[in-house]
Amino acid sequence: MGCLNRDVGFGHWFGNIHLSGPCNRACYFCIGQHMMGLDSFNTLDSWPLPGIEDFVGGGGRDRGVTEVNVTGTNTDPLLYRHTGQLSGFLREAIPGLTLGLRTNGVLALRRPDVWSAYGKASITVCSFDPVIYRTMMGRGAPPNLRRILELPNGPQAVKLNVVLGPENTATEDVFRTLNVADSCGIARVNLREPYGQPHVGDPLQSYTPVKMTHGMPTYLWGDTEVTYWDVHYVEVESINLYASGNVSTTYPITLGYSPDLGEVQEQKEFPGGRIRNQWQGTCRD
Ligand code: SF4
């Protein structure tokens, strides 16, 4: 993910493939609702993906990208129907590829073949409390993290992304989530400041960081490294393939404005909650 300070020479480059389509969750903080120029695209059944040759060709190769993460602007990558072809194509095109997955984890147990196609993964879970989970992620129940981690041939590294909000911070629920992560042997957790919502702040700010990770403070919670992650300031660069086929080193939500993908506002202007109705298409799980 890029940052507001983009193009200032940060050394860490990676690639993102952003799929679009209906999602099996409806998170009120979904970034997709700020990238409405992509609402009309559905690439979940598409192969080859539009722009994939440009993505691995000029764009990624010029920057020495060997890590590619498959994510979604408004959908979940475990819903993608051609993961095997995508994985094979990328592994052939990019020697030493690390293929990462950014998912809500809902389908991991039902699609273990897709889950195991990745070398690393991050799972977004706002809470393991079913009520808080549903309040923040719109529908469904938290994935069974322990069973997911027991799947054979799964990704070698699994990280947890906990998107922050008043629901999981005011109640200290976020600390219970960190306890679950630690007890499951999760090595890394990111506490993510949501884009398009009022600033939440670092829940661990009263603790002493053990190090900085790409400009962000990292703490120890038991044996788990926990990094407070604010997309506005994290010091990384990315090259992005969008569902439109556009290959870009910019991530529109981090720029505050995108002439192609829609006008978005400064973070301080967001009132909180759902900004606009994002994809409400057919649930695909
Ligand atoms: S899981 Fe939530 S944040 Fe992710 S794409 Fe679906 S609705 Fe958006």
Higher local confidence (pLDDT), 62 or 137: 137
Choose the residue to mutate in 17, 19, 24, 25 for probing ligand 1, maximizing ligand atoms within 8 Å of C-beta. 25
Average pLDDT of the residues in 200-213: 95
Residues 143-194 pLDDT 10s:
999 999 999 999 999 999 999 999 999 989 999 999 999 999 999 999 998 8
What separation in Å is there between the alpha carbon of 62 and the centre of ligand 1? 31
Question: Tokens 């949501």 map to which residue?
Answer: 194
What separation in Å is there between the alpha carbon of 28 and the centre of ligand 1? 8
Q: In whole angstroms, how far apart are CA 94 and each of 53, 64, 67, 190?
A: 12, 9, 9, 27
Q: 261 falls in which pLDDT band (50, 70, 90)? A: very low
**Per the confidence metrics, is the pTM higher than 0.85?**
yes
Residue 124: φ, ψ to 5°: -90, 115
- Helix, strand or coil, per DSSP, at residue 112: helix
Would the CB of 72 count as within 6 Å of ligand 1?
yes
pLDDT at 3 over 50: no
Q: How many CA atoms lie within 13 A of 184 on its CB side?
A: 21
Average pLDDT of the residues in 72-98: 95
Residue 95: φ, ψ to 5°: -60, 140
What separation in Å is there between the alpha carbon of 218 and the centre of ligand 1? 25
What separation in Å is there between the alpha carbon of 27 and the centre of ligand 1? 5
**CB contact set of 76 (below 8 Å; sequence gap of 6+):** 23, 24, 25, 103, 104, 106, 107
Note every long-range contact of 217-222, with CB atoms under 8 Å and residues 24 or more positions apart, other chains counting: 221/178, 221/179, 221/181, 221/182, 221/189, 222/178, 222/179, 222/182, 222/183
pLDDT at 201 over 80: yes
Would the CB of 23 count as within 6 Å of ligand 1?
yes
The full set of domain ranges for the chain reads 13-266
By CB atoms closer than 10 A (0-12, 13-18, 19+), residue 3 is: buried
- Helix, strand or coil, per DSSP, at residue 64: coil
CATH 3.20.20.70 fits 13-266, yes or no: yes
Choose the residue to mutate in 27, 43, 125 for probing ligand 1, maximizing ligand atoms within 8 Å of C-beta. 27
Number of the ligand 1 atom closest to the C-alpha atom of 24: 6
212 bridge partner residues: 217
